[in-house]
């Protein structure tokens, strides 16, 4: 089973690019972030024609997450538990049916900039909610993949120019510590387990020639439960997609599990 995660930076604005990648890569499951549309405006037909079942948790103009699967989706949860007042569409969870079902979550973690504001406080509070929910999910003792745009640069090697990010919320000690505490629940970071080579970035800003200078960062991650990590066969970053017409500033990360 190939599980992809991709922040598409507006699914409708980049539909041709996104569907081209789906046609070429043929993921079994794909978790999308920053779809930037309400549920009714998601281009469902384009993906249904490619054989995908859909679950969408959208929001007008901002945020929004989706899960697409070649097999039916069950037990769909929209929204991260822990704050009933949170209206931002950043978390979607479902069980992918099959001979061995796997629970997946599409995560668009808050950016948190600028630091020292309520946006950074929201980021850290959201990460704590995610940690608590992940702890509950791990109690199910089932294959679990928490994938998405985490908006965290875990270590220095995950940025081409770390000094450029020292004031950014993605690189703050609190953000990195919260990410570590999530992993320490017993989750395996798929890329580090399968490869781990530095310089494997998933995001390049549109500005200042970042792509051309390889001024990238690794902020899209896949965290696996022990039951999923035991089945890990490989991880690939589809770097070339960043050079296509009308690209997202992120590229797909694909995890292969022997399920």
List the catalytic residue out of 57, 133, 149, 150: 149
**230 annotated binding-site participant:** no
**111 annotated binding-site participant:** no
**151 annotated binding-site participant:** yes
Residue 63 in 3-state DSSP? coil
Listed residue (37, 27, 34, 33) closest to 4, CA to CA: 27
**250 annotated binding-site participant:** yes
For residue 250, indicate whether it is catalytic. yes
Rg (CA), the chain: 17
Long-range contacts (CB closer than 8 Å, 24 or more residues apart) made by 11-16: 11/35, 11/36, 11/37, 11/42, 11/43, 11/66, 12/36, 12/37, 12/41, 12/43, 13/246, 14/246, 14/247, 14/248, 15/43, 15/46, 16/245, 16/246
**118 annotated binding-site participant:** no
**128 annotated binding-site participant:** no
List the catalytic residue out of 28, 52, 57, 108: 108
Which residues are part of a known binding site for Mg(2+)?
7, 34, 149, 151, 249-250
Catalytic residues: 108, 149, 250
- Binding site feature residues: 7, 34, 149, 151, 249-250
């Amino acid at each position: 089973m190939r599980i992809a995660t991709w922040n598409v930076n507006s699914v409708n604005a980049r539909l041709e690019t996104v569907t081209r990648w789906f046609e070429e890569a043929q993921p079994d499951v794909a978790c999308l972030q920053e779809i930037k549309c309400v549920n009714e405006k998601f281009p469902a037909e384009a993906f249904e024609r490619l054989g995908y079942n859909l679950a969408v948790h959208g929001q007008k103009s901002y945020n929004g997450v989706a899960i697409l699967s070649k097999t039916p989706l069950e037990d769909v949860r929209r929204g991260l538990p822990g704050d009933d007042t949170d209206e931002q569409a950043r978390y979607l969870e479902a069980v992918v049916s099959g001979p061995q079902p796997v629970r997946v979550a599409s995560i668009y973690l808050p950016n948190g900039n600028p630091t020292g504001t309520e946006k950074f406080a929201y980021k850290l509070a959201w990460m704590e909610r995610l940690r608590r929910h992940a702890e509950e999910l791990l109690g199910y003792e089932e294959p679990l993949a928490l994938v998405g745009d985490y908006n965290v640069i875990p270590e220095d090697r995950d940025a081409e120019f770390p000094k450029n990010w020292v004031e950014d919320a993605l690189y703050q000690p609190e953000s990195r510590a919260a990410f570590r505490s999530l992993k320490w629940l017993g989750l395996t970071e798929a890329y580090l387990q399968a490869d781990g080579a530095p310089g494997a970035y998933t995001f390049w800003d549109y500005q200042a020639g970042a792509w051309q200078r390889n001024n990238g960062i690794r902020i899209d991650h896949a965290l696996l439960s022990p039951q999923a990590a035991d089945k890990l066969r490989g991880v690939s970053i589809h770097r070339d997609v960043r050079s296509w017409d009308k690209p997202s500033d992120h590229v797909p990360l694909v995890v292969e599990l022997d399920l």
